[in-house]
Amino acid sequence: MDQTTFNQKYVQFCSPFVKGLQKIYSTMLHCEIHPLKPEIKNSGTLHGDYSAIMGMNGFYHEGNLKTPFRGSLLISWPEATYLKSASAMLSTEYKKYCEEISDVGSEICNMTMGSAKTVLIEIGYHIEMSIPTAVHGLDHQLQSQKGVTTVLLPFDSPLGKFFIELNFALDA
C-alpha cells in the first residue's frame, strides 16, 4: 500500500476515536474538548501522569480483500487534568489520586473505544479489543508495537490539556 493510501486509511481510522472521545466528555463529564495539532510520535515517554490503554486487532474488509490490522488507543492525562476529569465524571471533587478514581481513565478509554468501534464496523473494520489497562506515575513510558505508526493528538478543555495516542498498522 502506498503512503498516500495508508495516510487516508489512518485518518479514516482515527476520526471515530476523536469524535467518540468528544461525545464521552460532553455527555459524561459535561465538558467540551477540542483537538489540537496532531504529530507523529517517536518516543515511549507519555505526556501525562495517568494513562489508560487498550489494544486492538482484526481486519479491514474492502471488496474481496481482508487486510489484517493492529493498534491501540492510549489516553494520557497530567495529574491536574485527571483529577478534574474524575471529579466531573463522578460529581465529587477530588484533590488527590485515590482508589475511588483509579479506573476513571480506563472507563473513559473503554467508552471511547466502544464508540469508535461502532463507527469502524460500519466502514469495514472487524475489531477485537483488549481490556483497558491503567498506568500511572511521573514520566511513565509505554513502548509501541513494532511496525506501527503512532499519532499523538493533544486536546484542550476547561479541565486541562490531555493527550491521545493512536497506533495503527495494516499488516498486508
57, 68, 149, 37 alpha-carbon torsion, rounded to 10° = -80
What is the DSSP code (8-state) at residue 159?
A: T
The listed CATH number (3.40.1550.10, 3.30.830.10, 2.40.50.140, 3.20.20.80) that belongs to domain 3-170: 3.40.1550.10
Burial class (CB in 10 A: 0-12, 13-18, 19+), 40: exposed
DSSP 117-157: HHHHHHTTEEEEE---EEEESTT-B-PPPTT-EEEEEEEE-
Count CB-CB contacts under 10 A for residue 81: 20
Domain boundaries defined on the chain: 3-170
Query: What is the grid cell recorded at 78?
Result: 497530567
User: Tell me, what's the pLDDT at 13?
Assistant: 86
Task: Please state, in angstroms and rounded to a whole number, the distance separating the CA atoms of residues 119 and 146.
Answer: 26
Residue ranges of the chain with per-residue pLDDT less than 50: none
Q: Please give the model's pTM, rounded to 2 decimal places.
A: 0.91
* Residue 153 one-letter amino acid: L
User: Tell me, what's the pLDDT at 144?
Assistant: 62
User: Tell me, what's the pLDDT at 158?
Assistant: 98
Q: Which among 130, 91, 124, 118 is positioned nearest to 23, based on CA atoms?
A: 118
Count CB-CB contacts under 10 A for residue 166: 22
